[in-house]
Structure formats: structure tokens, C-alpha cells
Structure 1
Amino acid sequence: MSDIQIMEKTRLTVLREMRLFIIVWVGQLIALIGSSTTAFALDIWVYNRTGSVTQFALVSLFNTLPLILISPIAGPLVDKWDRRKTMIFADVLACLGTIAIGVLFVIGRLEVWHIYLANTFTAVFMAFHTPAYTASTVLIVPKQHLNRANGLMSLMFGISLIVAPTLGGVLLSIVHLQGIILFHVSAIFIAVVSLMLVRFPEVSTSAVATAKSSFMSEATYGFTYLIARPGLLGLVLFSASSFYLVGGINVITIPLVLNFVSVSFLGTILSLFGIAILAGGLLVSIWGGLERNIYAIYGCMLLSGVFIFVAGLQASLVIFTVGIFLFFLTQPIVSSSTQAVMQNKVEPSVQGRVFAIKGAIEAAAFPLGYITIGPLAEKVFEPLMATNGSLAGSIGQIIGVGSGRGMGLLLMIMGVLTILETSIAYLYPRLRFVEDELPNVSNAVAMAADTASSQNDAVSLIS
């Protein structure tokens, strides 16, 4: 057998072993494109209607805040419910808010506050959908393919970042907002059908998951679980720091790029960053990651610091774009490797609770980057690096002065702090040896999946 035939056989084996995940993933990808396209169109509608950056920003706030607040409640329920059915009901119910927006738009009664309310309504159900989807991965993907599955999850978000703005712009000019909402509903329908076509393997529930306890202890169980395992807690906080960086870089990118080019070219730069995320996810899904995920996390976070530092070093659009492109290229590797460690170390019957808390912490870190880095850039660093600023005669002689140089200096500081943070994290033994000190749970899950497969063909279609 030739090397090419062996490679083809290997690819077919991987696809066969991941077929259940891929069916679900394709449906969720289509749903994400639909929801992201609608979100883009609603963002444009709000900004055109109000002309207010603050009201525009509130759209994102109402998308994020419910996820942070509801996750501690959603996690315990996800662990008790069937995760496939939870995803189905969450998809359908979350879509009702979008349908309401469409109806209000058609009858000419749509107001900005309706969008805030609809986003809150949708986010509540996504607080159930996200941990259910994440916790399901370990049930439907063999251990050796977890990094590939997580890479495909990153790839999914990369695709939506590229496709949604382009598709949204085209559809807005052709079918307008009501047509985009109809497209969104159709995409959700496809996602629901893909979930209805498959069965998830059942894994026996542990005594911890079934034990009766108070509402408060259920809601805080994810925190308690992580605190009892310092290595996992450190991993979640380390991962959250990458979300903080993404939020901070996002808020700096637009004003910094506009110092060099027009608004029309800004979209191209942002699309390049979406391509970087897509490429990183594709790389992980093909490569499969390192055997020791923690080393991939350390390495990519260290490189992230270097890339951010370089991005702010000179008043050059090319250097900034290359540096931030490489930064975003590393993020899918960090997120997929982090997720693989969590999936391997957290008992499947409590993953809903733990992943809900993980998601809430990461979701909180992202806007925190916005609300801290943005004011620092505008109120502190830009004045310091102005032509007559306090640092113009010192640091300004090295990296330049004027508009955008304060943001450049802030990027350099963020890069140095990221390198320092990674070095400190490496010296923390509980995090460095988290894959050695905590037992794997995936092997037991694989055995359960194999048993279910032999009895009922876990990936069979519903007749």
C-alpha cells in the first residue's frame, strides 16, 4: 500500500470516527452563520437609526450580560437534562426573539429597545445551548480526536466572522432585514434537523451529579469544582486572559487602523483577522495538536505576547496587521488545547456546570478588555504620546509620536505583560502539571460510547 493510500485511509478513518460530531457541527455552523448575519444586520440598523456608538455598544452588552448571569443556573440543569434535546429546545426558543424582531420590522413598529430585549431573550437560551454543546463533544468524539473537534469549533467561528459581514451586506441590499431574519430561521431549522437525525451516546451519571443539594450549591458547584482543582482553575483564568486580550485588541484596532487607511479598507483588515482565526482552527483540526496540550497553550500565549508587542512597535499598518494576524492565528490553538484539557479532566456528568462557569468567566473577560483598554488608550496613552505629550521626548523618540502612537505603546505593554504572565503561569506547578496530576476521564467515556454503539449504533439515524 502506497503512502498516499495510507493517508487516504487515515483520513477516512478520522471522518468515520468523528461522523456524529461532523453532522452536528455542520448544522451548528449553518445556524451560527445565520445568527451572525442577523446580528450584523441589526448592528447596522441600530447605528443607522441612532448614530450613537453607545447604543451600538449596548447591543453587545445585552448579548453578553445574560450569559454571565444565567450560566451558574444553566450549568446544573444542562447536566440533568438530555444535552441533545437541550440544544434543540435552546435553538428553537432563542430563535423566537429574532422572529419577533422580524414581525415588528415588517409592521413598522421596531424600536432599538426591542432589539435589546430580543438579544437578552436569545442570550438566556444560549446560556443553556453553549455548555450543552461543549459538554456533548466528549460524548461524541474519541479522545484522540478532541483537539481536532475543538479546532473545528474555532474554525466554525472563523468562518462566521468572514462570511457574516459579507453575506449580511449583500442580503441587506437585496432582501433587506426581513429577508435576513427569514434566512436566520431557515438556518436554525437546518441545525435542529441535524440534531434530530442523530443520537448521543449515554454515559452513566455519577453520584455527584445526581445527589440532591440546595439551589445555591448547585449554582456554585462549577466554582467549587474548579477551586478544589487549582490546576483547572489556573487554566480557566489563563484562558480568560486570552479573551481579555482579544477584547482589548478589538477596541484598539478600528481607531488605530483608521490612522492609516479609509473606512472602506478597514473591512479588508478585519476580514484578514477573521481569516487568521479560520486558518488557526483549520490547522488544529488537521494537525490534532500536541500530545501535551499545556505546552501548546504556554507556547502560543508566549508567542501572542511577542506578536502584540511587535504590532505596536512602529507606526506601520503592515507591521500592525502582520502582528495582529499572527496573534489571532494562535488563539484557536490556545482555546482548542484548553478545551481538550478540560474535556479530558472534568467528569462528563458535571461538565455542564463546570463549562458554564468557564464560559461565564471567559465571557466576562472579553468586555472587560473593551472597558479597560479603550479608556486607557483614549484618556491616558494617546495624550502621553501626542506631539507635545509627556513621553514624546523619551519613548516617543524610539517609537514615534502623534495619533495612534499611544495605542501602539499600550499594545507593547500588553505584549510584555502577556509574556510575563505566561512565564509566571509556567512556574505554577499545579497548572504546568495539570495533565499529570488529574486523572483522565475520556477513556471511560469512550468505553461507554463503544458500549452504546454496540447496542444501539450510537450514530444511527432516527427512523
Structure 2
Amino acid sequence: MNNFRHILANTLVANVTTSYLWFALTFWVYLETGNVGLAGVLNGLYMGLIAVGSIFFGSIVDHNLKKNVMLFAATCTLVCFGLAAMVWVIWVTEDDVSATNPALIVFSALVLIGAVVEHMRNIALSTTVTLLIPENERDKANGWVGTIQGASFFATSILAGVSIGYIGMEATMWIALGLTLVTLVHLIPIKIPESRIITSEETTLPATGTDTVSSAPSVPSAPSAPVSSGIDLHGSFRIIALVPGLLALILFTSFNNFIGGAYTALMDPYGLELFSPQVWGLVLGVTSLGFIIGGALVGKFGLGANPVRTLLLVNVGMATLGMVFGLREWWWLYAGGIFLFMLTIPAAEAAEQTILQRVVPYRQQGRVFGLAMSVELAANPLSTIIIAVVAQAYVIPWMATDSGQQWFGWLLGEGDTRGMALMFAISGLILLIVVILAFFSKPYRQLSEYYASTSQDIAGHQANSLATD
């Protein structure tokens, strides 16, 4: 458990560092160029590369020792940030920054690659929970993983803006480079007990077979598919198909992210209508504490006996909050709603992680985690663009008319943000309906039953083996 705590702490610093530098870069680029399109392209590339790269990252995680994967990711990030620093010193001129400046493009590309590659560690961390944490404690461990993600978001939202505002891009870059080196050095002595990798030469295990890791004895496991080299999308899809209800879970989460595009697209514009930019930044920082507190609560109390049910119940709460927090132009309603929304996110993410860690064979978890992350992440940027266009072109203007007020004024009141509030309410209602239907669905019952009847307790069996030796 001590090793796991060290890994968590190391991942926290690594996540904060890369996000800090990346968001500082996007802030700086916008402030220097005033080009909204360039800032949007940078953010779009960041999300898109993470979505596409997750498939490749998952394969790397499955075919290599988890410690080596983390070292590789940290080293790649350090090299990219180091090269970016060289480009800055030799080539970038702060007085001549533009969207067509080749020095800026190369500098941004190196920072982008370093920030994206670091996400490989997050997939490795999810599989490390399976390896190091006994099965009955995994939900709590996943809660602490959510806590470090929340802490990363909290620190990044505050530090990036403050850093660019007070010390500038160059000092920010050197701080990030130094912290990246520190995380790499700290990671080297941490031990993750995993002595060998299951290779493609080994045959498929039956549904009630074993999944061997290190010298652990046989443990009941989820059904396995043939393990092959490379990306192995076919093998990942086969595993997902073999687990009853798992495909529905991934599609459900992807749909949630698609609906969540309403909040991604409109949350900042809505907040900036209620607050000044400075206050809105502070509100985001404070409300992101909900993410930390939510993860800590999961880490303390767990998710209950059936995380599939917990996942749906949490989504009921998220849908309700999404419908309510924009009903009036009251700052406390919006800020409080965001805080509670953040509070629920770690439980939803921990529930999905806990389910996958039990029902997906350890040897293929990296690829399934990567594929699921890719599909789920891809849904949000797509819906963000669609919803932003629809809101700007149709919904917001319509709600400013007498017709819009007659239809929904009784529900949403008056104000300049009623069009965005209507989009929030519609999105929350759609999600609530889908969640209620999911409660009565066959995949929900199948996955709940399968989760209850399946076990993959690698850490627990290793501990028992050591105790009897």
C-alpha cells in the first residue's frame, strides 16, 4: 500500500505539472495573439490526441511492465519539455508571436506531445490499482485516484493563470521542466511487483480460468480473449463483448459525455455573464474542491456492494443538478450547483474503474481502458461543437423573443442567459430519462449479476500466499 501511495503522489505532481504548462501555454498564446481560433485549435488538438492516443497507450501498458510504462512516459515528457525549452531560448521571440510563427508552432507542438504522452501514466495507474490493491478495497483506491485528479484540476485552474499573469511563460516553462525532472527521479526507486508479462504465445484462458501475474496463485477471473501484439482492437472488442452488459456501460458513459458537451460548451460563457473573469476563475478554483472532497469521500466510504447501481444513482444526481443550477440567474445557485456536480464526478468515475478492474482480465485492461477512454473522450468535443453552434444560432436568440419567454419564462425566469439555461435543462432532462431507462434495462441486470459472480483479486491472493509461506 505504501508503494501505491507513492505512485499516487508521483502521479499527482506529474498531472499538475503537465496540465499547468499546457494551460499556461494556451492562456499565453491567446493573450499574445488575441487569436481565439488558435487557442481553440490547441485545445482541440489536445483533446483529440488524447482520445486517439489512448488506444495506443493502452496497448503499450498491456505489453510492458507498469513501472517501465510510467518511466517511459515521464522520460518522454521530460525530453519534450526540454526540447521546448531549447526552442524557446534559441528561436522564440516574445515580441513576435503569431499564429503563423514557426517557432511558436514548434514550441507548442513539443509541449503538446509532452502533455499528451503523460496521460499514458493514467491508464497504467488504473491497471496498477488492479495489481496492488485487494479487490474489496479497489473502490476506495479509485476514490483516491479521483482525489488526485481533482487536486490536479484545482491546482491547474489557479496556478496556470496566476503564473502567466505574474511570472510569464518563460519562468512557467522552467518550473514545469524542473518538476518533471523531480517526478522522474522520485519514480525510479518506487517498486511495482510485477515480474513478467503475458505474451501472445500463451493460450486463451477459459471463463473460469486464471490470470497469472508475478508468482500469484490461481484466482477466479473474467473471460479472456487471445492476447496479441500491437493495438489489438479486435481483442479489446471481443473482451468487451464477452462480458455481459459491458458494452452498454461504455456506450452509456460515452452518451453521458456527449450530453456533457452542453456543460463544456456553455459553462464558461454562462459563468462570465454572472461574474467578472477574475471572480469566475476563483469560482472555478473553489468549486473544483468538490472534486477533491468527492474523491476523498469515496476513498473513505467506498461505493457499496454494486458499483453499477451506484454509477446510475450518481448520474441521477448529476442530471438533476444539470437541470436545476441554471433555472435562475442567481450566482449562488450556479456556483453551488457546480460544486455539487464536481462532488459527484469522482464517484461516477471510480464506479466505472472498479467495474472494469473486476470484469476485464488484468492482462488486457490497458487496452480496454484505453479504448473506453478514447470512445468516451471523443464524444465530448463533438457534442461541444454541435451544442455551441445550436445554442448561439438558434436557442439563445429564440429565448430572447416573446415566444421563447411565453414558452419557458415560467420555468427559467428572465435574463440574458436564459437560452443557455434552457440548454442546461434540456440536457439534464435527457440524461435523467436515459438513466431511469437504464435502471430497468437488461444490460444493467446482466452486468450487476456478472460483477457479483466474478473475482480478480491479484493483490489479495499474493498477500495470502505470502502469509502462508
Give the Å deviation of 1:116: 4.4
Which of 229, 236, 245 in structure 2 is aligned with 1:231? Answer: 245
Aligned mates of 2:197, 2:359 — CA distance in 1: 17
Q: Deviations over 1:245-271 (max 9, x none)?
A: 444313212211222222221112211
Give the Å deviation of 1:452: 7.1
Tell whether 2:25 aligns with 1:42: yes
Contact 1:68 1:360 survives alignment (8 Å): yes
Aligned mates of 1:452, 1:98 — CA distance in 2: 42
Give the Å deviation of 1:122: 2.6
Tell whether 2:401 aligns with 1:409: no
Q: What does residue range 214-229 of structure 1 map to in structure 2 within 5 Å?
A: 218-229=232-243
Give the Å deviation of 1:221: 2.2
Give the Å deviation of 1:305: 0.9
Aligned mates of 2:72, 2:467 — CA distance in 1: 25
Which of 149, 154, 159 in structure 2 is aligned with 1:162? Answer: 154
Give the Å deviation of 1:215: 5.1
What's the secondary structure of 1:259's corresponding residue?
helix
Using a 3 Å threshold, how does the CA distance of structure 1 residues 181 and 246 change in structure 2: closer, same or farther? Answer: farther
Aligned mates of 1:221, 1:123 — CA distance in 2: 28
Contact 1:252 1:407 survives alignment (8 Å): yes
Using a 3 Å threshold, how does the CA distance of structure 1 residues 449 and 126 change in structure 2: closer, same or farther? Answer: farther
Which residue identity is paired with 2:141?
A
Using a 3 Å threshold, how does the CA distance of structure 1 residues 323 and 432 change in structure 2: closer, same or farther? Answer: farther
Contact 2:148 2:292 survives alignment (8 Å): yes
Using a 3 Å threshold, how does the CA distance of structure 1 residues 188 and 320 change in structure 2: closer, same or farther? Answer: same
Q: What does residue range 175-186 of structure 1 map to in structure 2 within 5 Å?
A: 175-186=167-178
TM-score when normalising by structure 2: 0.85
Which residue identity is paired with 1:224?
R
Give the Å deviation of 1:99: 2.1
Tell whether 2:203 aligns with 1:207: yes
Contact 1:221 1:354 survives alignment (8 Å): no
Contact 1:306 1:416 survives alignment (8 Å): yes
What is the aligned partner in structure 2 of residue 427 from structure 1? 440
Aligned mates of 2:39, 2:241 — CA distance in 1: 37
Which residue identity is paired with 1:223?
F
Give the Å deviation of 1:124: 5.5
Using a 3 Å threshold, how does the CA distance of structure 1 residues 379 and 188 change in structure 2: closer, same or farther? Answer: same
Aligned mates of 1:294, 1:230 — CA distance in 2: 13
Structure 1 unaligned residues grouped into runs of 5+: 1-17, 456-463
Give the Å deviation of 1:184: 1.8
Equivalenced residues, count? 436
Give the Å deviation of 1:239: 2.4
Using a 3 Å threshold, how does the CA distance of structure 1 residues 157 and 318 change in structure 2: closer, same or farther? Answer: same
Tell whether 2:383 aligns with 1:391: no
Give the Å deviation of 1:378: 1.3
Which of 243, 250, 258 in structure 1 is aligned with 2:272? Answer: 258
Which residue identity is paired with 1:271?
G
Using a 3 Å threshold, how does the CA distance of structure 1 residues 288 and 245 change in structure 2: closer, same or farther? Answer: same
Using a 3 Å threshold, how does the CA distance of structure 1 residues 212 and 361 change in structure 2: closer, same or farther? Answer: closer
Aligned mates of 1:330, 1:124 — CA distance in 2: 26
Give the Å deviation of 1:172: 3.6
Tell whether 2:299 aligns with 1:299: no
Larger displacement relative to structure 2 (183-192 or 47-56): 183-192
What is the aligned partner in structure 1 of residue 352 from structure 2? 338
What is the aligned partner in structure 1 of residue 220 from structure 2? none
What is the aligned partner in structure 2 of residue 8 from structure 1? none
Aligned mates of 1:298, 1:334 — CA distance in 2: 8
Which of 285, 291, 295 in structure 2 is aligned with 1:277? Answer: 291
Aligned mates of 1:228, 1:319 — CA distance in 2: 44
CA RMSD of aligned residues (A): 2.5
What is the aligned partner in structure 2 of residue 125 from structure 1? 117
Which residue identity is paired with 1:50?
T
Aligned mates of 2:24, 2:329 — CA distance in 1: 33
Aligned mates of 2:333, 2:66 — CA distance in 1: 45
Larger displacement relative to structure 2 (343-352 or 267-276): 267-276
Tell whether 2:42 aligns with 1:27: no
Using a 3 Å threshold, how does the CA distance of structure 1 residues 129 and 162 change in structure 2: closer, same or farther? Answer: closer
Q: What does residue range 343-362 of structure 1 map to in structure 2 within 5 Å?
A: 343-362=357-376
Contact 2:132 2:458 survives alignment (8 Å): no
Q: What does residue range 244-255 of structure 1 map to in structure 2 within 5 Å?
A: 244-255=258-269
Q: What does residue range 3-82 of structure 1 map to in structure 2 within 5 Å?
A: 18-82=1-65
Q: Deviations over 1:149-203 (max 9, x none)?
A: 1111111121122222333344445543233222222322333234322222237
Contact 1:306 1:415 survives alignment (8 Å): yes
Which residue identity is paired with 1:200?
I
Aligned mates of 1:419, 1:210 — CA distance in 2: 35
What's the secondary structure of 2:273's corresponding residue?
coil
Aligned mates of 2:399, 2:334 — CA distance in 1: 17
What is the aligned partner in structure 2 of residue 86 from structure 1? 69
Q: Deviations over 1:26-57 (max 9, x none)?
A: 11111112112212210111101221222112
Using a 3 Å threshold, how does the CA distance of structure 1 residues 214 and 389 change in structure 2: closer, same or farther? Answer: farther
What's the secondary structure of 2:43's corresponding residue?
helix
The structure richer in helix per residue is 1
Give the Å deviation of 1:65: 1.7
Give the Å deviation of 1:274: 1.0
What's the secondary structure of 1:431's corresponding residue?
helix
Aligned mates of 1:103, 1:246 — CA distance in 2: 39
Using a 3 Å threshold, how does the CA distance of structure 1 residues 177 and 443 change in structure 2: closer, same or farther? Answer: same
What is the aligned partner in structure 2 of residue 371 from structure 1? 385
Contact 2:244 2:446 survives alignment (8 Å): no
What's the secondary structure of 2:179's corresponding residue?
helix
Contact 1:385 1:406 survives alignment (8 Å): yes
Give the Å deviation of 1:290: 1.3
Which residue identity is paired with 2:171?
G
Q: Deviations over 1:397-453 (max 9, x none)?
A: 442344210110111111111110101111222223413225534224531465479
TM-score when normalising by structure 1: 0.86
Larger displacement relative to structure 2 (336-345 or 260-269): 260-269
Aligned mates of 1:220, 1:122 — CA distance in 2: 29
What is the aligned partner in structure 1 of residue 207 from structure 2? none
